[in-house]
Amino acid sequence: MTIVLAIDTATPAVTAGVVRLDDHQVLAERVTVDARAHAEQLTPNAVGALRDAGVDMADVDAVVVGCGPGPFTGLRVGMATAAAFGHALGVPVHGVCSLDAIGIDTVGDVLVVTDARRREVYWARYRDGRRVDGPAVCAPADVPGGAAAVAGSREHAALFDLPRQDPVYPSSAGLVRAVPDWSGRPAPLVPLYLRRPDAKPSVQKR
């Protein structure tokens, strides 16, 4: 039995769950929705999920983490924590697109949208659970249309002429299912910021 610790901090949800890889069953999951509590809640949620699942830390065989797109601070917390768990336990760490953890469970042509702040959205398009476009960031008006549904941000559903819906965040099971290949060595973790940093180095005049 392969035990996976799945974590994501790309959205306001601070998610940590324990998933059995063999059948993708979620043994336990803790989610705190607070965009300002990533650093404070992630490790307690991970430790709590392991305890709820009756799994010791030493029993974890792999870690999977959502790499965004998302804000710098949230992604940094999640990916650094995942890397620390992987290093301490000597297990592989797999990074996935956080939007894939939502889109992978959809049917038909679906647009997954989450809040990117600054009056913009992160988005990716899926066809029967497979990403066919994105991820990208832009103003809602510039997102390609034609999708049958929007999952993700409740606040942005209305911008796409859809009924207001409950927010859908990356789930532990979705994160695990989004890993394309569990047999190979995972690629290095790369954050999907999709924006240049606000701070820019000053140019000295000579």
> Which CATH number does the domain housing residue 150 bear?
3.30.420
Q: Which residues of the chain have pLDDT under 70?
A: 148, 151, 153-155, 158, 161-165, 196-206
Same domain, 77 and 150: no
**What is the structure's pLDDT at 122?**
93
Same domain, 136 and 94: no
Euclidean distance between CA atoms 19 and 141, whole angstroms: 37
**What is the structure's pLDDT at 166?**
75
Euclidean distance between CA atoms 171 and 53, whole angstroms: 16
Rg (CA), the chain: 17
Q: How far apart are the first and last CA of the chain?
A: 63
Same domain, 121 and 35: no
**What is the structure's pLDDT at 145?**
78
**What is the structure's pLDDT at 57?**
95
Question: The domain containing residue 123 runs over which residues?
Answer: 103-160
**What is the structure's pLDDT at 2?**
96
**What is the structure's pLDDT at 206?**
47
Same domain, 94 and 132: no
Phi-psi region of 60 (alpha: psi -120 to 50; beta: other; left: phi over 0): beta
**What is the structure's pLDDT at 199?**
44
pTM score of the predicted model: 0.91
Mean model confidence pLDDT for the chain: 90
Same domain, 54 and 120: no
Question: For 128-186, how does the pLDDT look when each residue is reduced to its tens digit (9 = 90+)?
Answer: 999 999 999 999 889 987 776 776 766 677 677 666 667 889 999 999 999 999 998 99
